Amino acid sequence: MTDLQRSGAASRRGLLKAAAGTLAAGAASAAEGNPANLPPNTPDWAKSLGPGVIEEAYGTRSWHETAVRRYVPWLTQDRQSSISFTPLAEMHGIITPSGLHFERHHGGVPDVVPADWRLMIHGLVERPLQFTLEDLKRLPSVSRIHFLECPANGGMEWRGAQMSGVQFTHGMLSCSEWTGVPLKALLAQCGLKPNASWLLAEGGDASLMTRSIPLAKALDDVIVAYGQNGEAVRPQQGYPVRLVVPGWEGNVWIKWLRRIELGDRPWYHREETRHYTDLMPDGRARKFTFVNEVNSVITAPCPEKPLRGKPGFVEITGLAWSGVGRIARVDVSVDGGDSWRTAQLQEPVLGKALTRFRIPWEWREGQRAFLQSRAMDETGRVQPTMTALRKARGVESIYHKNAIHTWLVEPDGTVVNVQIDA
Ligand SMILES: Nc1nc2c(c(=O)[nH]1)N[C@H]1C(S)=C(S)[C@@H](COP(=O)(O)O)O[C@H]1N2
Ligand SMILES: [Mo]
C-alpha cells in the first residue's frame, strides 16, 4: 500500500492521528533524507503506479502535511463554547484553506438540514419574506475575498506577551472567498420601512446568537453567503448560510443565519444580544466597536519558523489587513522600530482582505534581532505601538488589539514572542 492509499483508506480522524504521530520521525528523516531516493537515483515513489482518479473522491492534502487548527485548553471551559486558531505560519498567499479556518462557536456546530433551512426577514419591512436555499441561489451572486477576524484576536496579550507562537497570538484570523447574495438585494425584495435603521441577525445554533448591525452597513457590502472558497460554506463556518460583514469584527458575522429583523434602534434590551464592549482606562466602555482596525504580523520568521543554524538570506513575510479598506504600505524593522524598510505588497491587494508582504533580509550569524511590521491602510491609519495602544486603551480590554507585534530572534536563530517598550 502506498502512503496515499493508506491516507485515502483512513478515516479523517485516523488520518490526523497518523499525521501527528509521524511528525517527529518525518522531521528527522526530512533533514537527513534517504540517499536511495535522492538524485541521481529513481525515488521509490516513481517505481510503481500510484492510485488512480477518485481513489479519494473528495480530496485531502498530502498526509505529509501536518498543520492543524489548535485550541488553548485553559482559555475556555469546554470545546462547545470555544475557539480554535488558524496555523498562520503554515499559510501561503492570502487564502485560508477551509479546513484550517479558525472556529468560534458559542454552542457547538449544529447539523442544519438544508431542505429544512429558511431565512426569515421581518420587522420594519413592507413584506416579510422567507427564503429557501434555492431561492438564494437563483438570485444574482457576488464572490469577494475578505478576512474574518475575531476581535478577541491577541486579547490575551494586553498585559504582556504570553502565547507561544503566531498561531495563538494572531490565529483568530482567516481569509476566504465568500459567495452569496448582497443583503441589500434581499432587503429590496422585502421593501424597507422608512424608519428602519438597524437590523438584528440571528443564528440557528444552540446559542441562538444575535447581533445588532446598523442598516447602513447592510446596504453597503454585507453578503448572505452560501459559498466559501468555491464550495459550500463549511459546517464550522455556518453551513448552509452565514453573514459576511466585511472588515467588521467576527462576532457580527452570524453563522447558521436564520432570521433578520429590521428595527429602528439596536437591540440592547435582549439578554442574548450582548455585544462585545471595550473597557477604557477611565472606566467608560466603548459599546460598539465594529471595525477591525489596521493590523499586521510577521508569519516567518516566527516562533514556529525559527532560523536555527542558517545565517544568510532570509525572506521576511507576513500578513496585513484593515477593516476599512486596502493596505497601502507595510514597513518592516529588524531592530525593534529604530529603523524601517518598506516591504513589497504581493498582488492582489484587496479591500478588507489579507494582504501578503515580503522583504529580503540578511541574517548575520549570531545576530539578535527584534522583528516588527507596521501596516498603513489607504485611509492613512497606521498600526500603533503596544505602548501607545496601552496608553489609549489601558490593559482591561480584551478586544481590538492591533498593536505592532515583536518577535525576538535569538543569536541561535530561535524566535520568541516578546513585547518591548517603544
Ligand atoms: N450563530 C453563531 N454565529 C456566530 C458565532 C456563534 O457562536 N454562533 N460566533 C461568532 C464569533 S464570536 C466569531 S469570531 C465568528 C467566527 O467565525 P468562524 O467560526 O467561521 O471563524 O462567528 C460569529 N458568528
Ligand atoms: Mo469572536
pLDDT beyond 80 at 319: yes
For residues 328 and 305, what is the distance between their CA atoms, to the nearest angstrom? 26
Considering the chain, what is the average pLDDT of its residues?
91
CA of 157 to the centre of ligand 2 (A): 16
State yes or no: pLDDT of 19 exceeds 50.
no
- pLDDT band for 31, please (50, 70, 90 cuts): low
Report pLDDT digits (tens) over 392-408.
999 888 899 999 999 99
Q: Is 407 in the pocket of ligand 1 (CB under 6 A)?
A: no
Taking the centre of ligand 2 as the mean of its atom positions, its distance from the CA of residue 180, in whole angstroms, is 22
Is there a contact between 324 and 377 (Cβ–Cβ < 8 Å)? Answer: yes
Q: What pairs with residue 361 in β-bridges? A: 314
Q: Is the pLDDT of residue 14 over 50?
A: no
Omega prior to 39 cis, within 30 of 0: no
| Total length of the chain | 422
Burial class (CB in 10 A: 0-12, 13-18, 19+), 55: middle
Q: Is pLDDT of 1 > 50?
A: no
- pLDDT reading at 283 higher than 50: yes
> What mean pLDDT is predicted for residues 237-262?
98
Nearest one of 255, 211, 251 to 235, comparing CA atoms: 255
* Atom of ligand 1 minimally distant from the CA of 208: 1
> Does pLDDT of 112 surpass 50?
yes
- Distance from residue 104's CA to the centre of ligand 1 (Å): 5
Percent of the chain at pLDDT above 70? 91
pLDDT in tens, 344-392: 999 999 999 999 999 999 999 999 999 999 999 999 999 999 999 999 9
Ligand nearest to the CA of 238: 1
- Asked if residue 250 has its Cβ within 6 Å of ligand 1, the reply is yes
- With cell 501607545, the residue in question is 388
When pLDDT is averaged across residues 310-319 and rounded to a whole number, the result is: 95
What was the pLDDT predicted at 270? 57
Provide the pLDDT for residue 116: 98
Residue 373 is inside which H or E element, if any? strand 369-377
Nearest ligand, CA 174: 1
Q: How far apart are CA 397 and CA 376, in angstroms?
A: 23
Q: What are the tens digits of pLDDT across the range 43-69?
A: 999 999 999 999 999 999 999 999 999
**24 pLDDT above the threshold of 50:** no
**pLDDT band, very low/low/confident/very high, at 275 (cuts 50, 70, 90):** low
Which atom of ligand 1 is closest in space to residue 256's alpha carbon? 1
Phi, psi of 342 (to 5 degrees): -85, 130
Please state the rounded mean pLDDT for residues 326-352.
98
**Nearest listed ligand to the Cα of residue 272:** 1
- Assess whether pLDDT exceeds 90 at residue 198: yes
Q: What is the pLDDT of residue 279?
A: 81
Give pLDDT tens digits for 137-163. 999 999 999 999 999 999 999 999 999
Can you tell me which residue has the cell 505588497?
345
Pairing of strands 406-409, 369-377: antiparallel
189 or 284: which carries more pLDDT confidence?
A: 189
Work out the angle between the directed axes of helices 23-32 and 12-21 (0-180°, nearest 10).
50
Q: Is 144 in the pocket of ligand 1 (CB under 6 A)?
A: no
How sure is the predictor about 16, in pLDDT bands with cuts at 50, 70 and 90? Answer: very low
Cα 403 to ligand 1 centre (Å): 23
For residue 396, the model assigns a pLDDT of: 86
Ligand 2 centroid vs 207 CA: distance in angstroms? 13
